[in-house]
Chain A
Amino acid sequence: MKERRKKFTTVSIPTPLFKKIEERIKDTGFTSVSSYVTYVLREIVAEEEEKTEEPFTKEDEERVKARLRALGYID
């Protein structure tokens, strides 16, 4: 099962920033500037994506509460 499509693309960052990151990741688990930048970006993007509403409607809620009461989970 060899991957058929390339999974990565290139972005540009200023060279001084690249060098600072290179210094920072020495003796850490990060093997490259790319892996560090990917890690940080994933963290930031995930934080933004977490801000949303509940995934159920009022009707769902009433129906589910009736079952939870019947099972003794709520009074």
Chain B
Amino acid sequence: MPKPHGGKLINRILEEKDRKKAAETATDLEKVEISLATATDTENIAKGVFSPLEGFMNLEELENVLNHKRLPNDIPWTMPIVLDVQEEKAKNLKEGDEVALYFQNKPLAFMHLEQKYKFDKEELAKKTFGTLDTAHPGVAKTKEMGNYLLAGKIDLINEPKGPYDRYKLSPMETRILFKEKGWKTIVGFQTRNPPHLGHEYVQKTALAFLDGVFINPVIGRKKKGDFTDEVILETYDVLIENYYLKDKAVMSILPFEMRYAGPREAIFHAIVRKNFGCTHFIVGRDHAGVGSYYAPYEAQELFEEFPDLGIAPLFFKSFFHCKKCGGVTNEKACPHSEKDHISFSGTEIRDMLSRGEMPPKELMRPEVSQVIVKHPNPFVE
């Protein structure tokens, strides 16, 4: 199993016995109310999902990440993990103070405020997303951020509760789980959609030469029209139950708000799965992309810059069903022409399902389609 990124699995969760007192102490501190996205980042830092980060980035870390895709100690890191506040709030905060981070009016974590600083939103957006187009959801969100960033280590007081906690495992838990299963080579699979046959084929191709697959759907705020978290989990449950060997597949969720940063986010997704204990990570077409901001295989190309990532990317081309081959294949293996191919177009499958139609069994397992069609509200509104 790979070492956690940066060498140490971070744990910044207060011990059970200290939590009650901590929650009381928090009421006496300067309060910073944070968003759901920042709350999930806080939880991920505390549990070691974002190891080696122990808190939100300071200016030096942010500059390094934006300019070199690395932390100041040369460890690969591609996404800014920052906490923004409005200027009025920043005025009340003093470097060196303890601050209480509140989520939904409850104390979530302490922050040891090391630094507060102004930042250039355009630079952050341009370097992270490669565009300043406000139609890009990441750029739009950056534009809405407060003008100041707060940096410092955090300590989680209370773990946020959610409807899918039974699917939520920390990196320490997945590492122990993989060890218990006797897996030495584990491939991580990032997803934000119910599985079609193309997804299944990619995972099983990797499984043919590795010990286990770790299916890790991203749970959290999504775009309008995306599948709901509940549907993603239910469809994977039914797929694993019917089509996977019990001891070869594990699913747990990753609470995280997608940034849609394409190549940079693909590297980040791999780092996160390394922290969960994965040795390999599947990178497909337009990984973490949105619209047409990134070339189809740009994310795969960026991995070439990181010989020291510590997790092996597995690059896959798009799969399709070929009528002549009589199964799922891709352009590297199929000699037939495009007219014989049925593509796994997410948009087309989604359109069919939204009309209440079952996609053909060549595209999606009937058990999976049924879960979606029978669901009263499968899409984010």
Q: Point out residues on A near B: beta carbons under 8 Å.
A: 1-3, 5, 7, 29, 39-40, 42-43, 45-46, 49-50, 52, 54-56, 60-61, 64-65, 67-68, 71, 73-74
Contacts and interface: CB of A to CB of B under 8 A. Distances in A.
Contact of B2 (A50, A60, A71): A50
A56 B9 contact: yes
Interface string B1-16: 1111001110000000
B307 A43 contact: yes
Interface residues of B, number: 36
A68 B63 contact: no
Closest 4 CB pairs of A and B: A46-B308, A43-B307, A55-B9, A42-B308
B172 A55 contact: yes
B177 A49 contact: no
Interface string B154-188: 00000000000010010011011101110000000
Interface in B1-55: 1-4, 7-9
Contacts of A67: 173
B308 to A, nearest CB: 3
A49 B71 CA distance: 17
Contact of B67 (A3, A42, A49, A73): A3
Contact of B3 (A2, A40, A49): A49
Contacts of A39: 307
Nearest to B301: A29
B172 A49 contact: no
B66 A52 contact: no
Given A1-B120, A1-B123, A56 B304 contact: no
Contacts, number: 70
Nearest to B172: A56
B177 A42 contact: no
A46 B4 contact: no
Contacts of A56: 9, 172, 175-176
A49 B59 CA distance: 27
Contacts of B324: none
A74 B3 contact: no
A67 to B, nearest CB: 7
Given A56-B9, A64-B173, A73-B250, A1 B66 contact: yes
B62 interface: yes
B148 to A, nearest CB: 13
Given A1-B62, A64-B172, A73-B177, A55 B119 contact: no
Nearest to B1: A54
B267 to A, nearest CB: 14
Contacts of B179: 54
A26 to B, nearest CB: 17
B173 A68 contact: yes
A42 B63 contact: no
A42 B59 CA distance: 24
Nearest to B119: A1
Given A1-B63, A55-B172, A56-B176, A46 B307 contact: yes
A39 B172 CA distance: 30
Contacts of B2: 50
A59 B2 CA distance: 21
A1 B125 CA distance: 12
B68 interface: yes
B367 interface: no
Contact of A42 (B60, B66, B74, B181): B74
B74 to A, nearest CB: 7
B173 A46 contact: no
A64 B176 contact: yes
A54 B304 CA distance: 28
6 contacts: A1-B59, A1-B123, A39-B307, A45-B308, A49-B3, A55-B4
Nearest to B275: A55
Nearest to A50: B3
B110 to A, nearest CB: 23
Of the listed residues B64, B173, B310, the one surrounded by the most CB atoms of chain A closer than 10 A to its CB is B173
